[in-house]
Amino acid sequence: MITSTPSVLLDGLVFPECPRWHQGKLWFSDMRGHKILTVDAGGHCEVIASVQRPAGLGFLPDGRLLMVSEAEPFLRRLDPDGLRTVADLSSLGSVVLNDMVVDKEGRAYIGDDAFDMAAATPPRPGRIILVAPEGDARVLAEGLSFPNGMVITADGMRLIVAETIGRCLTAFDIAPDGSLTGRRLFADLGVIGASGVLPDGICLDTEGAVWAASLATSEFLRVTEGGAISQRIPVPGKWAVACTLGGDDRRTLFLCTARTTPQDLAEGKSTGWIETIGVDVPGAGLP
């Protein structure tokens, strides 16, 4: 088992989430800092937009940013003159939007995690929603236990989603029309450690393994299909929130970490970082 120690690229954040490597920079949401930002390899940071509780990010084929927020039921697009609404998802019922992956055709797969940390009510089963480029929306999958990070394989044929409360990674086949079929278990993470792994943000490498942020155990795990752990990156005393593979050769693993508690985070109290570490196997697929 290989363990490694990451380096801090950027500090001064609140709760970084949903990292994406795009056009030579890391894009990410500071969810409780209410901003979408970028940072380059030298640590230079830029605010792209101010948004209440931003979450999942993705990019259209023409490079424009798509984003969702935990605080509102909209898929939005960043145009030169500002954010514009692509789809109002309130027509699908009550939604709490979280992570998202956008495919090469510009179709957005969005997790409705059905859980508001500030609310007193228990979560209902979550869903995956598809929004077409023209804004048409439909529910593709239901009954997920807090759908979180999502990836699409390089061939565009499979989607893998982290079910945080379900303590697992779940795979689907992607049909030509974007529908999801063949739901199956990719990895059971509830059998790892004393209480199992609570997977949050994920990314994929060229060997088909998934890097998963493990909130409960303060580490990032490289998980192969079937659930074997081939590498661990501990971040002691911090939450492991999300990760992505980027850099010119996609061999830099960017880590979103935070020091907080569930109670403090519900009040917006947190300290966050972007950290980096080199890996041997490069990234693949989307995001």
User: Sign of the C-alpha dihedral, residues 15, 274, 19, 86?
Assistant: positive
2-278: what fold?
A: Neuraminidase (2.120.10)
Token couple for 138: 């439909």
Residue pLDDT, tens place only, 125-153: 999 999 999 999 999 999 999 999 999 99
Secondary structure (3-state) at 228: coil
Confidence of residue 190 (pLDDT cuts 50, 70, 90): confident
Query: Which of these, 272, 269, 263, lies nearest to 117 by C-alpha position?
Result: 263
Contact 256, 233 (CB under 8 A): no
Residue pLDDT, tens place only, 233-249: 999 999 999 999 999 99
Q: What pLDDT score does 37 carry?
A: 98
Contact 72, 95 (CB under 8 A): no
Secondary structure (3-state) at 34: coil
Query: Alpha-carbon distance 132 to 221, whole Å?
Result: 32
pLDDT of 115 over the 80 cut: no
**CB contact burial 29-39 (16+ within 10 A = b; e otherwise):** bbbbbbbbbbb
**Full-prediction pTM beyond 0.85?**
yes
Q: For the CA atoms of 8, 10, 15, 21, what is the dihedral angle to 10 degrees?
A: -100
Query: Alpha-carbon distance 57 to 53, whole Å?
Result: 12
pLDDT of 116 over the 90 cut: no
Residue pLDDT, tens place only, 25-48: 999 999 999 999 999 999 999 999
Q: Where are the domains of the chain?
A: 2-278
DSSP assignment of 108-175 equals EEEEE----TT-SSPPPPEEEEEE-TTS-EEEEEEEESSEEEEEE-TTS-EEEEEETTTTEEEEEEEP
Strand-pairing partners, residue 246, are 252
Query: Alpha-carbon distance 246 to 229, whole Å?
Result: 21
Query: Alpha-carbon distance 199 to 186, whole Å?
Result: 13
